Every structure is written in C-alpha cells, then in structure tokens.
C-alpha cells in the first residue's frame, strides 16, 4: 500500500535552507531525495538534496547531528552507495526522513557543524550499485504507437493486456546523468534482399523517456512478492533515458528481443525520490477499457491509489542551438499515471516465478507516452519512424538524434494543496563515433 501522509508533507513547512523555500526549486523540504556525491577525489558519500545544497549524511552521523537513529541506519548512512540503506526497508527510510525533516525545518536552529555542501561543488554518481536491470513496456500508448508502425492491423500482440512485458537489460552500461553518450555502431539490415548486412555507426539513434523503480528490500529466491506487499519492496523513483539505436535494433530483435541496440548506454538521474515523498501524489491508475480483460488474480490490486501523478518531460538542444544561446525545446510531456501496468504489478509479475530482486536493482517503466503526439516519449513515435522530421528553432530538422544533440529529461509531481517536488535532470549529449 502507498506510504501514509504525515507531517513531512505539510505544504506550509519551510526550511532554514533559504533556497529550499523558492517556488521553482525541485528540492523543497517536502522532497528530501537521496543521492551519492563526491567532492574532488574524496570518498563518495550519501547526500540529501535540499534547495541548492546537499546534506552530508556522513558528517551528520559522525558529529552526532542525527542522534535518535537505530545503529543499522547510522551504519548504512556511512556507506558509499545506497544499497545498504535500501535494504533496510521503507520503515527505516521513513524514520530517517522524519529526523531529516525536523533537522532542516525553519523552527529548528541550524546545527553548529557544517552539514551542507553546495551542489555546484560536487560530482554526482550513480545512486546505487545496480546488479540487475529490467526494462518494462508498461505504456499501452507507446506499445500501440510502435505496433502501428510495424503491424498496422494488429498493433498490440495478444499477450500485452494480460502480462507486463519486459526484458533483462544490461546493468554495466548504466551511467549517471551528464555522462556523454558515444554513438553506437553495429550490424544493420541489408538494403535489399540477398545483400549482406553492414556494420556502421547508427543513423537512427533515439531516446526513451522512462521512470526508474529502484528496489529496496529484496525477496528470497523462490518466494514471489504478493501484489499487496509489492510497494514495500520499492525504495524510490528516478528518471531513466533508455537510449535506443533503432537501426541496430530492427535487424537484431527477432526472435529474442533487444540486445546491442539498447545495451550501449542507459542514463539515470542522480536523485532518487523515496516512496514516502510521493504520498501526496498518489492517484487512480489508468482506467482500462470495458472490453479489456481483467488481470489474473495475482496481478489484481485492491488499491485505488496505485498510480503516481508524475509528469515526465523530454527537452532537446542541438549543438547549434547551444552555440546561439537558444534554450532547449520541449518535445513531449507525459504522465506516469497513464501506464497500463502499475509499479506494484511490475514488481509482482517480476517475482511471480520466484525471481529474487535485490537492493539497488533497477526496473524501468519503458517509454512513458500518452494518447496524443505532445505526449509521445520517443522520436520513433514523434517522427513516425523518421518520416516526418521535427523542426528546431535554428531551421535544423531531426528525424533521429545528431551528434552534439543533448537530451534532457525532467520530472515533477504536483497535486492541489501540496508542495510541488521535482526529480532534477537526466541529461546526455551525443558524441560522434
């Protein structure tokens, strides 16, 4: 079940960190996301984003600023990645969140010790050691759009409305936001029947705007997670750009699915929004058509707030736009709440065969798209497989990504009577091969 509302969600709560009170910040005191930061060549540390600053949890623990925490939480806060903290479960995260909220609220005098680090002075790292990565296909709008490009008469395969579709991705090539993306090269379809395939740099490089689900407490091998307990195994959410080489993918994906067209890079935003911070933004899931089949019992939820009112935006800046100081343009704006399969259903189905999830495992939603062109989360959809290019302010056209293009994902949650919270950016710039 979703995390309950409590005092940390109070929209009137203010912080003694002045930048956290600005209306346009992603990181007000109601958010408090987790990340891993590094200063110069020092050891990576766990931090909490607050306004334009980061709370250094190591300093807090070493100097006794956070005193009433169980020893297991203190030890986990001293780690160089989030996995130990993730594995403690949501109750521990909520306990830590409450102490941090009290520490940072305006009514509490700032501690004598310097616990804040300016964001501008650090380098952000991947938030977790990601042992496994599973990419879902949970947006029925995206699945229908892509299906219509290749199977106009039958865009959805017969299993889609019965089972959350996914494939096991490559964890070693997951990179943090701002990491440059090398244009992949690979084998591509022959130009004509009877000819040999070619091996060259991809000319149909694409992005996919997705949401990442980071696993907290795992499950034992052979013990499925029931649907009513699924969200207890979630640590939090982040943004994911699952870069895709469409020409490489088109030649290789049958009969076993994605491989080298996907495994060259997947970008993650550095800040993980804990499930507790998302409590004010829970909403009803996508309303299924009356003609759709009911989910099988193991996937049936008795929760009318299994959706999350999270908006995902994709922005693009070309090298020429950057040189001419032209701001990035927004390509799409979609809602995570419009996915056909919920986070809980993805987790439950993933473990239904006894598969064991582990702290730090990444489950991605698949491209988040909506019903209209303004909500489509990939160039494959927006340009109709490259046949209708988009126009940039410089007069340039894009069917797929060019060298020097930078793709920026942004995410935020908003709801009446609550403080808007953000996810920060997930950025990647294309380098030539």
Q: Which residues are catalytic?
A: 142
Burial letters for 184-216: b for 16+ Cβ neighbours within 10 Å, e otherwise?
bebbbeeeeeeeeeeeebbbbbbbbbbbbbbbb
Residues forming the annotated binding site for Ca(2+)?
A: 135, 208, 210, 242
Torsion angles phi and psi, residue 205, rounded to 5: -80, 135
94: tokens are: 């909520």
Asked if 58 and 122 touch (Cβ cutoff 8 Å), the reply is no
Q: Residues with Cβ < 8 Å from 290, sequence gap 6 or more? A: none
Query: Which tokens sit at 182?
Result: 């090398």
Please provide the distance, in angstroms rounded to a whole number, between the alpha carbons at the two ends of the chain. 47
What is the C-alpha to C-alpha distance for residues 260 and 211, in angstroms, rounded to an integer?
Answer: 21
Query: 3-state DSSP helix/strand/coil percent for the chain, to nearest 5?
Result: 25, 25, 50
Question: Which helix (DSSP H) or strand (DSSP E) does residue 239 occupy?
Answer: strand 234-241
- Residues annotated in a binding site for Mg(2+): 242, 262, 266
Question: CA 278 to CA 249: how far, in whole Å?
Answer: 35
Number of H helices, E strands in the chain: 9, 26
Rg of the chain on CA atoms, in Å = 22
What is the rounded CA–CA span in Å between residue 370 and residue 372?
6
Binding residues: 135, 137, 151, 208, 210, 242, 249, 253, 262, 266, 367
- The two tokens of residue 86 are 């993730």
* Among the listed residues 90, 85, 4, 7, the one whose alpha carbon sits nearest the alpha carbon of residue 48: 85
Cβ count within 10 A of residue 416: 6
**397-414: burial string, b at 16+ Cβ within 10 Å, e else:** ebbbbbebbbbbbbbbbe
Annotated binding-site members for substrate: 137, 151, 249, 253, 367
Q: Contacts for 313-317 with beta carbons within 8 Å, 24 or more apart?
A: 313/209, 313/409, 313/410, 313/411, 314/207, 314/209, 314/377, 314/407, 314/408, 314/409, 315/407, 315/408, 315/409, 315/410, 316/392, 316/398, 316/405, 316/406, 316/407, 316/408, 317/405, 317/406, 317/408
């Amino acid at each position: 079940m979703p995390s309950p509302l409590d005092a940390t969600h109070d929209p009137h709560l203010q912080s003694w960190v002045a930048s956290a009170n600005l209306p346009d910040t992603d990181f007000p005191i109601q958010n408090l996301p987790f990340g891993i930061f590094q200063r110069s060549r020092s050891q990576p540390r766990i931090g909490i984003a607050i306004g334009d600053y980061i709370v250094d949890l190591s300093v807090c623990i070493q100097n006794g600023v956070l005193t009433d925490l169980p020893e297991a939480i203190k030890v986990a806060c001293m780690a160089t990645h989030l996995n130990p903290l993730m594995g403690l479960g949501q109750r521990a995260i909520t306990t830590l969140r409450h102490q941090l909220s009290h520490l940072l609220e305006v009514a509490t005098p700032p501690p004598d010790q310097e616990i804040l680090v300016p964001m501008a002075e650090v380098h952000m790292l991947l938030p977790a050691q990601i042992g496994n990565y599973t990419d879902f296909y949970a947006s029925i709008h995206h699945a229908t759009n892509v299906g219509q490009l290749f199977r106009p008469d039958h865009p959805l395969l017969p299993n889609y409305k019965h089972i959350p579709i996914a494939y096991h991705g490559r964890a070693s090539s997951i990179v943090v936001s701002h990491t440059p993306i090398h244009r992949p090269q690979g084998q591509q379809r022959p130009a004509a029947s009877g000819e040999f395939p070619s091996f060259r740099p991809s000319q149909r490089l694409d992005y996919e705007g997705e949401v990442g689900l980071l696993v907290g407490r795992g499950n034992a091998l052979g013990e499925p997670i029931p649907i009513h307990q699924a969200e207890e195994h979630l640590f939090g959410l982040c943004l994911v750009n699952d870069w895709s080489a469409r020409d490489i993918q088109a030649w290789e994906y049958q009969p076993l699915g994605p491989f080298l067209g996907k495994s060259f890079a997947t970008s993650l935003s550095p800040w993980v929004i804990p499930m507790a911070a998302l409590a004010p933004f829970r909403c009803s899931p996508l309303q299924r058509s009356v003609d759709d089949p009911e989910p099988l019992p193991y996937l049936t939820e008795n929760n009318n707030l299994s959706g999350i009112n999270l908006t995902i935006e994709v922005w693009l800046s070309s090298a020429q736009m950057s040189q001419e100081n032209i701001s990035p343009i927004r390509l799409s704006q979609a809602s995570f709440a419009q996915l056909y399969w919920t986070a809980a259903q993805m987790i439950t189905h993933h473990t239904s065969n006894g598969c064991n999830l582990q702290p730090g495992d990444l489950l991605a939603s698949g491209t988040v798209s909506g019903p209209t062109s303004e909500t489509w989360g990939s160039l494959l959809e927006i340009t109709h497989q490259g046949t209708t290019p988009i126009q940039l302010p410089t007069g340039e056209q894009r069917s797929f990504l060019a060298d020097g293009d930078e793709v920026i994902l942004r995410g935020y949650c908003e709801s009446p009577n609550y403080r808007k919270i953000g996810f920060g950016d997930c950025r990647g710039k294309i380098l030539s091969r």
